[in-house]
Structure 1
Amino acid sequence: MSRIVSGKLKSILSGIFLCVFLFPSFANTQDLIIDHWVWAGQTLDDKNHQEQKFLENCQIFKITCRAGEVRVLVRSWGHQTSHKSIPHQSPRYFQDTEKLILTYRMENRINVREISAFINRDINIWKRAGRHIIGIEIDYDSPSSKLDVYRAWLIDLKKKIPADISVRITGLPTWFEDNRSDAKKLAAVVSEVSLMFYRQKQTPITDHLLDAIKKVNNIRYGFLCNDDRWHRLLKEQKKYGTFRMAIFITAECHVNREPAPS
């Protein structure tokens, strides 16, 4: 199966981040929910094209697949621009039938009042355009030693955005390796944590990590392209119970590049 995944998937999917969420087996079949990150420079047409290819090829894996949510990079703050906001995707590129999650990428933590103002304005703009916004996602690589500060920041942020908008985050596996207690507390205040294994072999999956996250029920496991390490997590399903997994598939995959959300 690993040869099929690394060969077939790499050849049939390109140009869009496909996030494939694997849930427990039902009636001896696997149910895959296909989510997407539409990152800077990508389009909904890219997403629709690649999604259709994936759905058509699910029989290769003998699994049941269905389309899920769309995560859209709306705004980012980088090192070079300091605290200046860089806008990305616009609602005009998306359909009113899509369930959308607005993603915000930060190199450094932005003041809660400032980012919440942007988020609320963006939510209003997208909703007025007729788009179905169900949540936001914060993409920030907090140091493991400052997870408690990040948790307090997220709690404050949640108070400043509409109650019907869920808050999700991307995360680092090292959080659970280095600071298990605060990582679990952090996960408890958000709807979902997508752990990014995008550095491939540079981010090992250890028994210590698996033990740390086995009772955290809102985690997804993110892998880049044809990284075969997700097969190990698949084998852990019976051992650890329910888990969900994401695979980011792009046209090019390089260890030293980071084309996927971090």
Structure 2
Amino acid sequence: MGAKAQILLVTALLAGQAQAAETVSASRHAAFWLWSGVKASDELRNAQTVYLHQGEVLTRSGQVVFQRLGLPVSRLTFPSIWLTVRFTTLEVPQAIPARLVRLMQRWQAAGNHVVGLQVDFDAATHQLADYARFLRELRQQLPPEFALGVTGLLDWAKTGEVATLNALPVDELVVQSYQGRHTVANYQAYLPALARLRIPFKLGLVQNGSREPQAEAQLNASPWYRGTVVFMLKP
């Protein structure tokens, strides 16, 4: 192959790579995280499922408390909602799960379809067994009509024990492909490991981040894959 032909081939390959990656456009998706302080924009007008950030469980002055955040209880137009709570500790007194149950019941009573509680906790991969024990205890404190979901990290499936993940007592796992406001570099390298999951899972994307639909297409072969969730950003 001549030098000119090689240059043309490399140029074509680079152009193909550029076309493969695209910006995450919220309007093309149906499920979203709506964190406290972020307003629902017109891009959510076709939303089917919204994960509402409702507060954080944290340690304050030596005591574990629930800090209420996010939208007040009201009737929303979204077909279904999850209540998402950020946990910074797993040493949680029983009064907090009871309060979260009451919060879900209030949203339900306001006329919303509340799927359940989503726990947002960055468990280290080597601590997944401890996290599973916490979730089993939490599951026992939730009424059966509410599902239990969790967010997850990309390396859980790649470097952790997939059998541990598949044994998590959850109804859904949403694996985040981003950190902060940006997509994890080479996130697509983690996707084959997700195909080994045997629990319902989704892929979390960040608004205006980068994605490779061709790489994500491999997840469609899994009967456990439930699509994407977009983390909405402040303008």
Fold match by TM threshold 0.5:
yes
Q: Which has the larger radius of gyration?
A: 2
Q: 1:131 to 1:110 in 2, by over 3 A?
A: farther
Contact 1:195 1:220 in 2 (8 A): yes
Residue 205 of structure 1 aligns to a residue whose secondary structure is helix
How far, CA to CA, are the matches of 2:78 and 2:209 in structure 1?
32
TM-score (norm 1): 0.68
Choose from 166, 172, 185 the match for 1:192.
172
Contact 1:40 1:88 in 2 (8 A): yes
Aligned to 1:257: none
How far, CA to CA, are the matches of 2:75 and 2:61 in structure 1?
27
Choose from 37, 43, 46 the match for 1:50.
43
Q: CA deviation at 1:198?
A: 1.1
How far, CA to CA, are the matches of 1:195 and 1:19 in structure 2?
19
Letter in 2 for 1:36: F
Q: CA deviation at 1:138?
A: 0.4
Q: 1:118 to 1:89 in 2, by over 3 A?
A: same
Number of residue pairs the alignment of both structures matches: 210
Aligned to 1:41: 37
TM-score (norm 2): 0.74
How far, CA to CA, are the matches of 1:132 and 1:162 in structure 2?
15
How far, CA to CA, are the matches of 2:61 and 2:151 in structure 1?
22
**Which structure 2 residues correspond to residues 2-151 of structure 1 after superposition, within 5 A?**
2=19, 5-6=22-23, 9=25, 20=29, 34-43=30-39, 46-47=40-41, 49-52=42-45, 67-78=47-58, 83-95=64-76, 98-111=79-92, 113-151=94-132
Structure 2: give runs of 5+ residues left out of the alignment: 1-17
Structure 1: give runs of 5+ residues left out of the alignment: 21-33, 56-66, 253-262
Q: CA deviation at 1:5?
A: 4.2
Q: CA deviation at 1:190?
A: 0.9
Contact 1:139 1:170 in 2 (8 A): yes
Q: 1:234 to 1:178 in 2, by over 3 A?
A: closer
Aligned to 1:62: none
Letter in 2 for 1:218: P
How far, CA to CA, are the matches of 1:223 and 1:174 in structure 2?
15
Aligned to 1:258: none
Contact 2:173 2:200 in 1 (8 A): yes
Residue 49 of structure 2 aligns to a residue whose secondary structure is strand
How far, CA to CA, are the matches of 1:120 and 1:198 in structure 2?
29
**Which structure 2 residues correspond to residues 200-215 of structure 1 after superposition, within 5 A?**
200-202=183-185, 204-206=187-189, 209-215=190-196
Choose from 245, 249, 253 the match for 2:228.
245
Contact 2:59 2:65 in 1 (8 A): no
Letter in 1 for 2:177: F
